[in-house]
Structure 1
């Protein structure tokens, strides 16, 4: 019997960053990896998809225009519901953020591709950058009154130090919750898909009667792929929605 065990890799192997083209510039490692390659691919596909909506425009929208208009309306409604009219100036950033995460998540669903949002370095770096930018906006808008966010009115003097500490820590935790939510969902989902696919392949390679039952994990795999596609879109939406909520908090000092 042929040994197929060497074909079954670890479920976490799909998240390994591999150097494709090693490059060093003045001591800095700027090598092209599978991580950076698929980020470039995601941005390129995003720009190409957006350009399709401007191709041969007509009074009657084509399919690409309709699809993009639907996504556009979803983001517009999100910004209006959470930021109101004052959020119009931030709409280009919110719209770009949503599309970037959406395409990174969806491209990561393609077999033998790479999911860049499954790495905490991207999600945390993105969340930290947004957090810093939101705080700068808050300070520019309210000045030193912005720090009243950590001290509600009417608080007894004795518990002010404790309350400020608790409010500050809960405020900082937003960076981690925003980044870990996206990272954990994408990583766990892809890992589960790989485990079930490996289980189905093991049953098939075993042969005999057991091989006939590999259909059941395949059915589960197909169902989970549909679920994972929904999660890919949902997590991009949730990340963008929380960004709007956090931005509204510093603008309104909630």
Structure 2
């Protein structure tokens, strides 16, 4: 049971077998399984021949088409090979973010270790793809064309640091946005609660901040979806760099 909104940022064991934490199921694991089940549930609709006969089906088709166009526009014709990966990650991020908007739930995307681990794994995958396709020519990515010979060592160092930072920045951006948004709602909610509990005037005056919090909640729902889209765009761009070296 959760007793504080801050509990949605803490990983806790919920089911312990034989008094061993090694065999326990944490809230992170349970919510991740829930996300996978939700995604599996609505992807079954793709098998329905009458998919476009209702608004829900049209929404699923629009989502599928949007991510497909994003991948193709970023990577090109070869984007179809990587579309299942990007579409799956997009769905996992969006569903996780939307679930975290439920009061006293668990925020999967706000876990720095898990999200940065995903970001690092994707970065290593991009590096392997680049080396597999281009071999040692892949390192030409760190030397912009037309660079004077005297500036090559400096630019190689800068480009290497920039490329290496992708391993962390991809996940850090997502986690920081989700974490900051939830903490903002927590702080504003606590201030409003303190204001309306002081007096009758404070209760009446607290109506205006409540309207602002409702607006921020609506904005957070939009940010939850946008962050998945931004993550997909950046990942597509990184894959494009590995494949086309530009």
TM-score relative to the length of structure 1: 0.88
Q: 1:60 to 1:90 in 2, by over 3 A?
A: closer
Find the aligned partners of 1:209 and 1:152 in 2 and give their Cα distance: 64
Counterparts of 1:1-254 in structure 2, within 5 Å, are 12-23=6-17, 29-55=22-48, 57-58=49-50, 60-254=52-246
Q: Is the 8 A contact 2:52 2:58 kept in 1?
A: no
Find the aligned partners of 1:238 and 1:146 in 2 and give their Cα distance: 25
Find the aligned partners of 2:15 and 2:51 in 1 and give their Cα distance: 46
Q: Give unmatched runs, 5+ long, in structure 1.
A: 1-7
Q: 1:63 to 1:201 in 2, by over 3 A?
A: same
Q: Is the 8 A contact 1:42 1:104 kept in 2?
A: yes
Report deviation, 1:178: 1.0
Report deviation, 1:12: 4.0
Q: Is the 8 A contact 2:143 2:156 kept in 1?
A: yes
Q: Is the 8 A contact 1:53 1:64 kept in 2?
A: no
Q: For 2:14, what is the secondary structure of its paired residue? A: strand
Find the aligned partners of 2:109 and 2:43 in 1 and give their Cα distance: 21
Find the aligned partners of 2:83 and 2:169 in 1 and give their Cα distance: 23
Report deviation, 1:53: 4.4
Q: 1:22 to 1:153 in 2, by over 3 A?
A: same
Q: Is the 8 A contact 1:102 1:232 kept in 2?
A: yes
- Number of equivalenced pairs: 244
Q: For 1:17, what is the secondary structure of its paired residue? A: coil
Q: Is the 8 A contact 2:15 2:25 kept in 1?
A: yes
Q: 1:211 to 1:61 in 2, by over 3 A?
A: same
Cα RMSD between the aligned structures?
A: 2.2
Find the aligned partners of 1:82 and 1:13 in 2 and give their Cα distance: 38
User: Alpha-carbon deviations, 1:169-200, whole Å to 9, x = none?
Assistant: 01111122211110111000001111111122
Q: Give unmatched runs, 5+ long, in structure 2.
A: none
Q: Is the 8 A contact 1:118 1:187 kept in 2?
A: yes
Q: 1:124 to 1:24 in 2, by over 3 A?
A: farther
Q: Is the 8 A contact 1:199 1:217 kept in 2?
A: no
Q: For 1:103, what is the secondary structure of its paired residue? A: helix
Find the aligned partners of 2:97 and 2:172 in 1 and give their Cα distance: 15
TM-score relative to the length of structure 2: 0.91
Q: Is the 8 A contact 2:51 2:57 kept in 1?
A: no
